[in-house]
Amino acid sequence: MQEGSIYDLISQARDSIVGQMRITPRIGLILGSGLGALADDLEDAQVIPYTTIPGFHAPKVPGHRGELAIGHLSGQPVAVLRGRFHFYEGYSMQEVAFPVRVLQAIGCTTLIITNAAGGLRPEWHVGDIMRIRDQIFLPGLAGHHPLRGPNDDRLGPRFPAMVGAFENDLVPIAHTVAASQGIPLREGVYCMLSGPAFESAAELRMLQGWGADAVGMSTAPEVVVAVHAGMQVLGFSLITNLALPDGAPANHAEVLAAGEAAKPRFSALIRGILAHL
């Protein structure tokens, strides 16, 4: 993705999608590993393959379908990204976060973002759902940032503030819905590393010392771009393994299996939140 071409590419992607839309979505959802089946519940869904949208790519990670689905879920007009692009696949951070730009361009003012993550707290369990309270964007701090380069004021301010990025009117709704469904909703700090290797024991101890509660390889750049674009954000991590220094090594099959097992509870939570918006 060349510098200076992002706005034009967003416009091309928007025009490509809008030409097929029957409704204007208000809420965008990004579904992580193993969680894409929620989009199967959409009413009157239109499914657009990523490969037909300018600036999009076919996901290379198992569990990511590579489709944009637009329809109604719990009565709300939504656009669902079934699968995402990852920095470790060789994409730039701008490419990773590009779909969020397009969601905003086609009408979405709210982003609900999910991921599969390793839990850094020994008292947590596989299958727990964590509401992301804050994030540590380690690759971004090291210079791999989606806003690096010239800023286009049409897309957002030069220096967006990230304090309070996850705090808005959606948070109490999420907790109310979780409580009504009997779902213990954790809260914590999500840390993004670049991957693709899972963390060493020393790295996990470092993350625990920093105050991180969950670790993964996505989400942070998409949240930065959503905030830059003026969207409100609600984020969730599904704890698919315990990432503990003295624990068992993680593997991707375990991540997908945990996502499959948590599907009913996770889907019910998202549907319940949407019903209250």
- Closest C-alpha among 85, 88, 90, 87 to residue 30: 85
Residue spans per domain, the chain: 6-275
Distance separating alpha carbons of residues 74 and 43, to the nearest angstrom: 9
Binding-site members for phosphate are 33, 64, 84-86, 116, 218
| pLDDT of amino acid 240 | 87
| Two structure tokens written together for 154 | 């049409």
Per-residue pLDDT of the chain (277 residues; tens, 9 = 90+): 554 489 999 999 999 999 999 999 999 999 876 566 777 889 989 999 999 999 998 776 655 578 999 999 999 999 999 888 999 999 999 999 999 999 999 999 999 999 989 999 999 998 899 999 999 999 999 999 999 999 999 999 999 999 999 999 999 999 999 999 999 999 999 999 999 999 999 999 999 999 999 999 999 999 999 999 999 999 999 998 899 999 777 767 777 777 778 778 888 999 999 999 9
The answer to whether the CB of 154 falls within 8 A of the CB of 7 is yes
Tell me whether residue 78 is exposed, middle or buried, using C-beta atoms within 10 angstroms of its C-beta: 0 to 12, 13 to 18, 19 or more.
buried
Active site residues: 33, 64, 86, 88-89, 116, 217-218, 241, 252
Distance separating alpha carbons of residues 54 and 135, to the nearest angstrom: 29
What class does CATH assign to 6-275? alpha beta
pLDDT digits (tens, 9 = 90+) for 126-176: 889 999 999 999 999 999 999 999 999 999 999 999 999 999 999 999 999
41-51 as b/e: b if 16+ CB within 10 A: bbeebeebebe
Binding-site members are 33, 64, 84-86, 116, 199, 218, 241
Residue 75 Rama label (left phi>0; alpha psi -120 to 50; beta)? left
